Amino acid sequence: MKILFFGDVVGRSGRDAIVKNVPHLRRDMALDAVIVNGDNAAGGFGITPQIAKDFFACGVDVVTGGDHIWDQQKDITQYLAQEKRLLRPENFPLKTVGSGSYLLSFADGRKLLVLHLLGQVFHKEHTRCPFLTADEILEKYKLGNNQAILVDFHAEATSEKTAMGKYLDGRVSVVVGSHTHVPTADARILPKGTAYQTDAGMCGDYDSVIGFESSAPLERFLTKISKPKMEAAMGTATLYGLYVEVNDKTGLAIECRGFRL
């Protein structure tokens, strides 16, 4: 199974690049599945139903969120309840609307589970433990019964992401980090066969401060005042992500490399 995961989409620049490029990437790379983190797709803050629909229409199979999933709360809450391919983190409270996992079934009978988790270190959300939440899901979904399992771990601390990779090594096909918008140079296959990257990076304008026009972040750093408003950068986007090929018989990775376009 060939899987391409895209890191956080930031603003119009990033989402236009996704819509433009996913169709030919699916064809040219013979991809079985495309997963996109859309946590900052709506002007840098959350995602709207229409943006999610545009992603699905261009060939994206599953869209994950993160700590900004509720930023467009007026529009997104009801859509999350209806659209199972759009994920909020699994370790939110059990009564929270939506789901944090989705089982993608292919016409040939193969299955890919996408699991989305939110980190705890440096995050203000009071979520359940992501490690124990992963255990709960993996009691139901195991490699062997499913050809592949991908975990998008949306977390701030590199240590927490690395720990998750070690914790799930051999039990899932892929652990890939999102959230920090900077691609890390550590894409690799861990000792027990799980593909891993601490952060896939972002899909957006890199002539910016993590996808935002530089003036507002600089002003915040210089004055410690949270104004002016952060605006997504609108220059040409670069797409960053992680490409993984999985052995359908074992569910473990046989190829893993960072992706850049």
Q: Which residue has the tokens 């709960």?
A: 136
- Mark whether 68 is an active-site residue: yes
Mean pLDDT within 90-112 = 95
Point out the catalytic residue in the list 68, 123, 154, 179: 68
β-pairing verdict for 240-246 and 253-260:
antiparallel
pLDDT for position 96: 94
Q: Kindly state the greatest CA–CA separation across the chain.
A: 57
pLDDT in tens, 6-20: 999 999 999 999 999
Using the predicted structure, report yes or no on whether residue 100 has a pLDDT greater than 90: yes
pLDDT in tens, 190-248: 999 999 999 999 999 999 999 999 999 999 999 998 888 899 999 999 999 999 999 99
How many structural domains are present in the chain?
1
* Residue range(s) defining the domain that contains residue 218: 2-260
Q: Name 169's bridge partners.
A: 172
62-64, strands of its sheet edge to edge: 86-87, 62-64, 33-37, 2-6, 240-246, 253-260
Residue 48 CA: distances (Å) to CA of 55, 83, 91: 11, 12, 21
Using the predicted structure, report yes or no on whether residue 126 has a pLDDT greater than 80: no
Contacts 24+ apart (CB under 8 A), 23-26: 23/58, 23/59, 25/261, 26/59
Q: pTM here? A: 0.95
- Alpha helices by DSSP H, 29-119: 49-58, 73-82
Which CATH number fits the domain that encloses residue 198?
Answer: 3.60.21.10
